Amino acid sequence: MTLRKPTLSLLRIVTLSALAGIGSQALAADAVNLYTTREAKLIQPLLDAFTRESGIKVNTVFVKDGLLERVKAEGNKSPADILMTVDIGNMIDLVEGGVTQPLKSAELEKVIPANLRAADGQWFALSLRDRVLYADKSLKITSFTYEELADSKWRGKLCIRAGQHPYNTGLIAAKIAHDGVEATETWLRAVKTNLARKATGGDRDVARDILGGICDIGIANAYYAGQMKSAAAGTDARKWGDAIQVIRPTFANPKNSGTHVNVSGASLAKFAPNKAGATKLLEYLVSPQAQAMYAGANYEYPVRRGVKLDPIVESFGKMNVDALALTEIAKHRKQASQLVDKVGFDN
């Protein structure tokens, strides 16, 4: 481990130096520099399509950890035009860290629902990651609420990854926003009682353990199910995917409130050298073409209405997104994390 970190840091520095060496004219007109916490290969087809259409090159810098710290350290010399990340909490951290700027775009405001973007244009959701129920395919379940995870009929039958993972703290934060801290604590304690095993592993492990008979149901992101059910999945992953059905839950309060989602999204960097090019790229990423590519390549749900879904994603049924603003959910992240520790969820 001690050898890997310096090597990775060195590579990042070399990449930054290469970007910094681009002439100011090229930076301003011919290229957009994208700092991303998601591996660029996941969205490279979209970036390539944008370049073909616009003639603007996209330079990507993958920053696995410490994006905020890095951009802060670069200051007003930063070549970053766009900051892309997953998880609403990470995006809010960038905004509160002072490394973004507002972007006024009629196209982004028209396409992206108000609850999935900042009111002042500091960030925009580009795709949705719905937190869904994985259930043994033999079970007859047509609908489900997140509150039902606490039902005693699931005692010893529930699998989930760590409560402190951002995917789960986001869900818990949404529950707090709907019902308050006290009710959420009661619910979370009951959910813990229903666990079939320690809250650990990843979302794919939930499907694996349903196949293995360890649990009957679990909570995970829908796009993992899409990956496991796809023709490109490996033999083991395909078996896991075939073992489960996917149900999109809602919150009980208010009734049929909608499914909890997290997002992948982006912000305009505070000192973006190519604001015009960055705006064009962000607007392209919510175009019908790009949104269809998101849905087809990554099994994420588009933010743009009317986009044709991948058949696997479509098989999960209609999705009504929880109307609660993501900023309201983000306010309760700290409380959610504290509750996870208080009830010993991950112990």
Supply the CATH number for residue 166's domain. Answer: 3.40.190.10
Q: Are residues 280 and 243 in the same domain?
A: no
163 and 236 belong to one structural domain: yes
pTM as predicted: 0.86
Range of the domain at 160: 130-259+320-342
**What letter represents residue 277's amino acid?**
G
* Per-residue pLDDT at 297: 76
pLDDT score recorded for residue 29:
57
Residue 272 covered by a domain: yes
Does 54 lie in the same domain as 9?
Answer: yes
- Classify residue 111: in a domain, yes or no: yes
289: closest CA among 264, 266, 307, 311?
A: 307
Q: Are 228 and 189 in contact (CB under 8 A)?
A: no
Are 21 and 169 in a shared domain? no
Residue 31 has pLDDT above 70, yes or no: yes
Residue 231 pLDDT greater than 90, yes or no: no
Identify whether residues 75 and 212 lie together within a single domain: no
Task: Please report the pLDDT score of residue 25 as a whole number.
Answer: 38
Higher pLDDT, 143 or 14: 143
Closest to 115 in 3D by CA, of 316, 330, 333: 330
Alpha helices in the chain (DSSP H): 4-20, 24-29, 44-54, 67-74, 88-96, 106-111, 166-179, 181-193, 203-211, 222-229, 235-242, 275-285, 288-298, 311-314, 326-330, 333-342
CA R_g for the chain: 21
Least Cα distance to 168 among 219, 215, 212, 100 occurs for 219
The answer as to whether 347 is a domain residue is no
CA 173 to CA 188: how far, in whole Å? 11
Whether 304 and 201 map to the same domain: the answer is no
Question: Has residue 55 been placed in a domain?
Answer: yes
30 and 159 housed in the same domain: no
Let me know whether 138 and 111 are in one domain. no
> What's the total number of domains in the chain?
2
Residue 274 falls inside a structural domain: yes
Domain contains 104? yes
**Which residues does the annotation place in the binding site?**
223-224
Residue ranges at the known binding site for Fe cation? 223-224
pLDDT value for 192: 98
Q: Are residues 11 and 104 in the same domain?
A: yes
In b/e form, how buried is each residue of 181-208, taking b as 16+ CB within 10 angstroms? eeebbebbebbbebbbeebebebbbbbb
Residue matched to tokens 């269809």: 292
Q: Which residue has the higher pLDDT, 189 or 294?
A: 189
155 in the same domain as 12 = no
Mark whether 172 and 234 lie in a shared domain: yes
